Structure 1
């Protein structure tokens, strides 16, 4: 019974973090003059299309944990991967808002810039807290002692390392201009997916399968929504998308 209560509480916390992340993503930037507070345009959006999808999925997973604590490990594995990707994207968001404003891609007053950066930092915190609670639920005191440190699946460990380190590493080799892109890919995709695959190497068969499937689902969703995300961001930033077809 104590374990069930702990799991239920963790599920509630994860749900709250997911709702906070989703609500934060709904807050747009507001274009304005740099030296004043007058509006110079409409809202500008940042978060990719997959972000609210993952926030909803994380909230649903948290509800499942709160209501079905007896089967917590597979759900916790799903929550850990989702929360890690949400947190990673939010960390990138803090940097991107500063870079976009500094490069003149968006023209925001300082108080508006402070608002969106604070929101992004809050989302990063919410995602991190959710990930920590999910990982805590996955932890099980090793019954085999130190022998349990040996991974159950060496292939998953190697695959996780390749994804987490190899993918951003290859991008970084393209030159100094690609360093920022490599960091974005690492935090947003490579580390959450690679870390999930590597961690699955120590999990039991059921949780391991769920983790691998979650990573594959997250990767597919991220890739498939990429064109929609780019179009969405172009429209948000005032780009005339009709010129693409003329």
Structure 2
């Protein structure tokens, strides 16, 4: 007798928006270490400070604003149009207002102490580890060929059975996709008109979607086989 093969499964986690703060943690430690080596001049220190500030701004936008594909393209087009418009106004119309603003920004002697970046990274790292710990116990989903299990610490496990046959991955925020490759999973019934489950902020979803689809496809196949066997049994009884 052939040994029964263990059903294929995949475990995924749902995280809060704090998931996307990891670049601030990593680059905070990295830039603090670079500055502590005292190999950078004044221009290098300013470049590090502006880069760190840009990373923090990007993370805050990711956590607070949803930029879908259309909004992202619109923002890029608006940025480049504004850039060329400013250059045209300066060159053709000789408007010096924007040049004055640019000179003011360049003259800002922006530096961020290594102690500040390292301390902030340690604090964020501590909170980040707590977030990972809580997600493991409260927002862990195990998808098999038979069901989707939701593990929550202190509560009875919630499972969705054979009704979940269709899965759709949505990437509603381009910055979330860029930083963590994350997206949202939506599970539907066999007919597709009933939404059974929504799992948000799933990291690396862009790389795991295919495996999830393959696992859930076996549900539809096995259900069809069971229905055929049931019909054959009814015909035999009649």
* Same fold (TM > 0.5): no
Q: Which structure has the greater CA radius of gyration?
A: 2
TM-score by length of 2: 0.30
Larger helix share, 1 or 2: 1
